[in-house]
Amino acid sequence: MDIKLDSLTGKSKSARIGKINVKVGDIIKTNDILLQLETNKGNSPYKAKRSYTIEKIVVEEGEEVKVGDTLFVASGEEKENPKQKVDYFANMLKGKKEELEAELLVIGAGPGGYVSAIYAAKNGLKTVIVESERLGGTCLNVGCIPTKALVRSSEVYNDVINGEEYGFEAKEVKLNVGKVIDRKDKIKESLVEGIDYLLQKNDIRLIKGEAAFIDNKTVIVKKGKDEYTIKAKNTIVATGSKICKINIPGIELPFVLNSTTALSNKKLPKSITIIGGGVIGMEFAFVYANFGVAVNVVEYADRLLTMVDSDISEEIKRIAVEKGINIYTSSNVTKIEKSELGEAIVIFKNNEKEKYLISENVLVAIGREPNIGELGLDKAGIELNANGKGIKVNSCLETNVEGIYAVGDVNNVIQLAHVASHQGMVAVDNILGNKKEMEYDCVPNVIFTAPEIASVGASEAQCAAKKINIKISKFPFCANGKALTMGAEKGFIKIIKDLDGNRIIGASIIGADASSLISTLTLIIKNNISEEKIIDTIFAHPTTGEVIHESVLGLSLGALHYHE
């Protein structure tokens, strides 16, 4: 039989064949990805509609095809008969029950879960993964990736409306928020499909549904009337986190958004008040400000971004205020009300004085908490952390129950996607018998404000608390040629050296390309690379990476391209 291209996304009339994922002789199952199709709407996978064996591949990578063209010749199509159809329909009514066994069961398919599963499968473990919602978890669907898509759109828009600085004028620039959201969704869907493809290619069984422990070796998964009982030699819990419930009167009003609903809001407000000056709040603050929205940020602490050093916090506040963002620190929101005109009124206390802000929307951007839900941890005997928030684990990511591990936000150690992924790999290594402990002294952290902020290793505040004898070297981006060409002269890099240990122990950046530069600094600190070796390294010119070289020079001889 011929396998033909039956449809294309959107209004595309033709597509180009991307990567072909199968070869002659492959036995194909329903929903297996056969190849990738490239259209003007982007890339999309072409999946099998039924089971068969590939006899011939008719097309080649790079070839243009249209609807109706033959892609493959296949054999072995399963015949249906009326009796089977009736039996199948009856089974659907009463639900399907299945019992499975696995060497590793992973509960949750976010960056902690799906990385654990793929790493385990590549190491030869028979792996099953369970997900109640969408592959990719919070990070891919309503977190890291979607927010960065909005960050990029806002940057492009801001550059265009300020094009005169770069030598051109763009008149009547029109922002289409619907298309901004559509682009975000398209990127998200592409990555979700990519994870699905990787799970299939690594022979990982994916089961959709809600998982709960029956005992320490058995998990039941329910979806509608379907029920799966999984007996696993080892289990990794990777169920992530959820938005914290904040007790603020008026938080349920229709104009109040959270970090999830804001990502799908196709109506751009003229003004917004953001409750929370942490990572989520400040990333959204710059996104909205770049889109021309009047932004207020109300933060309970005495400064923004309390996880970074105070000089970084002060610099981003200065840049935010210069951008037109109104900042209110040491401010406690007491309630949200609706005005006579339907506007939002945010009432807060600052220095014992009651104040209020009026805006079209409110965004509550205050934290996340471990998603333990209805996992039935007590039936498996799994203990929680001392504060009851998150699953208690040791340095190998194992819980108090042998063979059960917890990775990512659900253990509440560090809520970062890349930490979750690395924890997953460490957990699998221990399951394989390769003793490995998780280390947290060199975890990079990135905040996608404008400019970006990134840090790794010890902070200045931590060094002061531990009374470490340090030397600090700073180098400004205004002295970097590449940063000036980018129109990104704001910010600086800071390097911290332990004088007694004679090693670099920490670094922070606020400036252009901080999210990329931090990887180099992580390698330096993680592998204890000496400042002499860094100085002897040739850094390409003109690049923002040169700020690393200059700041390390500043620890001894002094920077070559800057003098205070």
Of residues 418, 422, 541, 563, which has the active-site annotation? 541
Q: How far is Cα 446 from Cα 38, in angstroms, rounded to an integer?
A: 32
Q: Are strands 33-39 and 42-47 parallel, antiparallel or unpaired?
A: antiparallel
Token pair of 182 as six digits: 């559509």
Backbone angles phi, psi at 29, to 5 degrees: -110, 160
- Rounded Cα gap, residues 111 and 108, in angstroms: 9
Is 422 part of the annotated catalytic residue set? Answer: no
Report d(CA 305, CA 524) in Å as an integer. 25
Question: What's the CA gap between 494 and 478, in Å, rounded?
Answer: 14
DSSP codes joined into one string, 338-354: E-TTS-EEEEEEETTEE
Three-state secondary structure call for residue 8: coil
Collapsing DSSP to helix, strand or coil, 226 comes out as strand
Both tokens of residue 523? 């390698």
Q: Between the CA of residue 256 and those of 345, 358, 359, 364, 374, what are the distances in Å?
A: 11, 13, 11, 7, 28
Find the angle CA(314)-CA(318)-CA(323) to the nearest 5 degrees: 145
User: Among all chains, which residue has been given the structure tokens 């990134």?
Assistant: 454
Phi-psi region of 261 (alpha: psi -120 to 50; beta: other; left: phi over 0): alpha
Q: Which residue, among 269, 238, 20, 216, has the nearest Cα to 113 in the 3D structure?
A: 238
| Residue listed under structure tokens 């080892």 | 234
Catalytic positions, written as ranges: 541
